[in-house]
Amino acid sequence: MQVGDLIRVKKGQNTYEGILMPFENELDDKFITIKLENGYNVGFKLEAVSVKVVRKGKPFSATMPKVDILHKKGLPDIAIIGTGGTVASKIDYMTGAVYPAFSPAELLQLVPELGDIANISGKEILSIASEDIRISDWKNIGASIIDQFNEGCKGVVVTHGTDTLHFTSAMLSFMLRGLQNPVVMVGAQRSSDRPSSDAAFNLVSSVNFSRTDCKEVAVCMHSSLNDDHCLIHRGTRVRKLHTSRRDAFVSVNCPPIAKVMGAKNIEFISSYKNNAEGDLYLDDAIEEKVALIKTYPGARDIVAAYVDKGYKGIILEGTGLGHVPMTLYDEICRGIEEEVVFGMTSQCINGRVNMNVYRGGRMLKEAGVIPLEDMLPETAWCKMCWVLGHHSDYSEIKEAMLADVAGEIRPTSRIDTYDIGRW
Amino acid sequence: MQVGDLIRVKKGQNTYEGILMPFENELDDKFITIKLENGYNVGFKLEAVSVKVVRKGKPFSATMPKVDILHKKGLPDIAIIGTGGTVASKIDYMTGAVYPAFSPAELLQLVPELGDIANISGKEILSIASEDIRISDWKNIGASIIDQFNEGCKGVVVTHGTDTLHFTSAMLSFMLRGLQNPVVMVGAQRSSDRPSSDAAFNLVSSVNFSRTDCKEVAVCMHSSLNDDHCLIHRGTRVRKLHTSRRDAFVSVNCPPIAKVMGAKNIEFISSYKNNAEGDLYLDDAIEEKVALIKTYPGARDIVAAYVDKGYKGIILEGTGLGHVPMTLYDEICRGIEEEVVFGMTSQCINGRVNMNVYRGGRMLKEAGVIPLEDMLPETAWCKMCWVLGHHSDYSEIKEAMLADVAGEIRPTSRIDTYDIGRW
């Protein structure tokens, strides 16, 4: 039984038939995963099933016709950097075979439209499940992006698993200073091989957008259940809001930047950064001891635990306008005494914190908790890691957290109004 | 200077004029809050401003004409239980005076339409900021609701602050067994005194819905920025998704139960429970040592901290389909060895967890983490508190967590498909 074989799995009364998927690592010898004809993956515990090979698989390379790669004059050079996730696996698994599809020939074979809009180069630098992404990975991805630009690429596309795509896009937005060209992150929600899968369409749309004059880190994902267009979200303003739907990624507290219709036209729908500031470089000074805490009624112990562990910064995801239960108040005050920096965001996701309206908020603000306006909690966590990599003085940290670096915050000068917001 | 006075506050170059709001407690002697003419509250640190009384206020009772309360035959008896929050404060603060508006006369004076649809009684049992709600408060609220039904009320409305309204509605959904009549929770997003404030409209709509044959705990809140209707959400399926907008409350993973047009008609838009099961009673056996953890890239220390503190249950709010970074894997396994029960939900909010698709999910499920299908993290936390109050055996706990008690979970019998969901 080899990866790529069509196998039949019997479990109790039920029989399943599908292509044997690659094992992810040595821990997987207890499980097998097959891809059903309908495109879905099913996992089985080996000891609970009986397995039979129906048809041997063919290696991917054998089924792929040759493609001539011509460097077409007039088309921009675009680099695609692979980090793992469903975009890649969609491509890998088309025949059930493992194949990192990052050579130009492979990419063009799988998504021919790419050849009409760009000269593509590809490089897989990581292959991890995105929930396992770490700060060191972000530094590597950032350095690879800089390399591609230094080699003359007009734009860089980064493929990424969707679980933490919005964390990575926010962190890169802070780390990549002086962008002269677009960095477009792209994922796919469905590893299914259905004609309606979002992988190819998202990839073409992201390459198309990477040719524009947008000097930001952006996220390109499906906008609806139809194949009509993708949306381009600002890297600091986007969140995954559905576990499985293809339109799971949504801009929060601001409109998306653009609509992209695959390889076809691009419609800008809000303002974006198109002026470069200074030279391109990677600013990856990061403090790793930063926590993200979602509060809940009666929560206690958790702030104290992080303070005791030597954490330097804590992003609170409070309720409503930025509140925590008073059970946490003393723990927060002790943290502040021990020079831990606290920032407040809201678990409502949409809208703006306002710590002036109610007593609880005022007390926390008075104690030194920084109200982070309309910043997403995930973005605030990334920013705190980055800001604490640069500053150790509280007032400098506060100023830096509240200064707009990459479109992540829109401060209000009015202390007396809620933001109606947009969602 | 007294509560209710019109005062002028000078802060630097700026002058603000408004009604002095009540002090919330003794800690407030450093702050004052005024309500501006536009309805917004502004807080000031007293030492930073100068203050002058422009016009003395009048006590609320003096400005309120007498209302004759007639018990009208043919109208149902509805009880309104007050627990604090903006619905009450909207009513309290109409003249800037503190007044718990929970006598029938006051409620009818402020919202006259109530008298056309019900015989109202009112009782304020708590007055807290909702972020401070505790398990003991939920037991009190539950007991008061039972009392009202035992006294013959046809329906009970509970006013509540919006920060944790969805936690309270979920917890009451589990604790109130054998409901024969509706319990409708209601809040208001705007304490503003504008004509367009949602407080009165939400209250009328909630009283209207409390007259139906729905035998569930429901939440009644504004559905849009217009005053055209409220939505009735299932108590276990609703979440606050905007810090300030009036339409902040949204049904997740299922449609709302009904639309209510104030005191006018009610349009049911999905199925609801209208058959009673056994007698009404309060089942308030609750385990308090339950934590809710939102994961983030590289998260560590936090699960171990709760395990060390003797927590009995932990709801994980993982990424995507229900994943956590591998940095937490050993901590979770140690917790499971020490008989801590783990349940998995998703920080995507919408959609369903599926721990069969990827290796990380399978490993956690194999270790004993319970995938909580399409349950909201907040609801899952309430349910875990309640289930652990009743069971100590892992397989009983697992069975109870996955059994549908109050519409909070829709299990799937298919292991191989994502749920397209509805959002």
Helices (H) and strands (E) in chain B, counts: 12, 21
* A43/B362 Cβ within 8 A: yes
DSSP string, B75-126: SPEEEEEE--SHHHHHHHGGGS------SHHHHHHH-TTHHHH-EEEEEE--
- Residue B140, chain A, CB below 8 Å: the answer is no
* B297/A164 Cβ within 8 A: yes
Tell me which residue of A283, A292, A285, A314 sits closest to A389, measured CA to CA. A285
Are B110 and B70 in contact by the 8 Å Cβ rule? The answer is: no
* Amino acid A24: pLDDT: 53
Among chain B residues, the shortest Cα distance to A168 is held by B297
Tell me which residue of B213, B211, B206 sits closest to B160, measured CA to CA. B206
B10: β partners? B15, B50
Active-site annotation holds for A163: yes
Provide the CA B279 distance to its chain's centre, in angstroms: 25
Mark the ranges of chain B whose per-residue pLDDT is less than 70.
Answer: 22-29, 38-40, 58-69, 85-106, 109-110, 191-197, 225-227, 412-423
The ipTM (two decimal places) reads 0.85
Q: CA–CA distance from A412 to each of A354, B17, B190, B401 (Å)?
A: 10, 20, 19, 44
Q: Which of residues 24-43 of B touch A (CB under 8 A)?
A: 24-25, 27-28, 30-31, 36, 40-43
How far is A415 from chain B, CA to nearest CA, in Å? 7
Query: Whole-number mean pLDDT of chain B?
Result: 86
Tell me which residue of A357, A314, A351, A360 sits closest to A334, measured CA to CA. A314
When scoring A28, A358, A373, A419 by the number of chain B Cβ atoms within 10 A, the one with the most, hence best to mutate, is A358
- Residue B414, chain A, CB below 8 Å: the answer is no
Active-site annotation holds for A319: no
- φ, ψ dihedrals at A271, nearest 5°: -75, 155
How far is B120 from chain A, CA to nearest CA, in Å? 30
* A298/B134 Cβ within 8 A: yes
* Amino acid A100: pLDDT: 45
- Could you give the CA distance from residue A422 to residue A410 in angstroms, rounded to a whole number? 13
- Could you give the CA distance from residue B254 to residue B216 in angstroms, rounded to a whole number? 15
- Could you give the CA distance from residue B112 to residue B120 in angstroms, rounded to a whole number? 11
Tokens read off for A286: 């990061």
Per residue in A228-242, is it b (16+ CB within 10 Å) or e — as a string? ebbbbbbbbbbbbbb
Tokens read off for A137: 């990975």
Residues B5, B137, B163, B284: which is the catalytic one?
Answer: B163
* Amino acid A419: pLDDT: 39
Q: What is the pTM of this model?
A: 0.85
* Amino acid A277: pLDDT: 86
Q: Which of A241, A317, A360 sits opposite B129 (nearest CB)?
A: A360
How far is B56 from chain A, CA to nearest CA, in Å? 23
Active-site annotation holds for A379: no
* Amino acid B38: pLDDT: 65
Domains, chain B, ordered by start? 6-57 (2.30.30.520), 67-282 (3.40.50.1170), 290-402 (3.40.50.40)
Q: Which chain B residues have a beta carbon less than 8 Å from that of A31?
A: 359, 362
When scoring B36, B135, B296 by the number of chain A Cβ atoms within 10 A, the one with the most, hence best to mutate, is B296
Residues A90, A154, A215, A240: which is the catalytic one?
Answer: A240
- Residue B357, chain A, CB below 8 Å: the answer is yes
Q: Which chain B residues have a beta carbon less than 8 Å from that of A352?
A: 243-244
Q: Which of A243, A415, A423 sits opposite B42 (nearest CB)?
A: A415
Tokens read off for A367: 């104690």
Mark the ranges of chain A whose per-residue pLDDT is less than 50.
Answer: 26-27, 60-65, 90-100, 192-195, 413-423
A342: β partners? A314
Strand A341-346 with A313-318, pairing: parallel
Residues A5, A92, A163, A193: which is the catalytic one?
Answer: A163
Cα dihedral sign for A14, A17, A22, A26?
positive
How far is B148 from chain A, CA to nearest CA, in Å? 26
When scoring B86, B128, B189, B243 by the number of chain A Cβ atoms within 10 A, the one with the most, hence best to mutate, is B243
CB proximity list for A22: less than 8 A, separation 6 or greater: A3, A92, A98
- What is the 3-class SS of B20-41, one letter each residue? ECCCCCHHHHHEEEEEECCCCE
- Could you give the CA distance from residue B44 to residue B39 in angstroms, rounded to a whole number? 16
Q: Which of A27, A288, A299 sits opposite B363 (nearest CB)?
A: A27
Active-site annotation holds for A123: no
* B416/A296 Cβ within 8 A: no
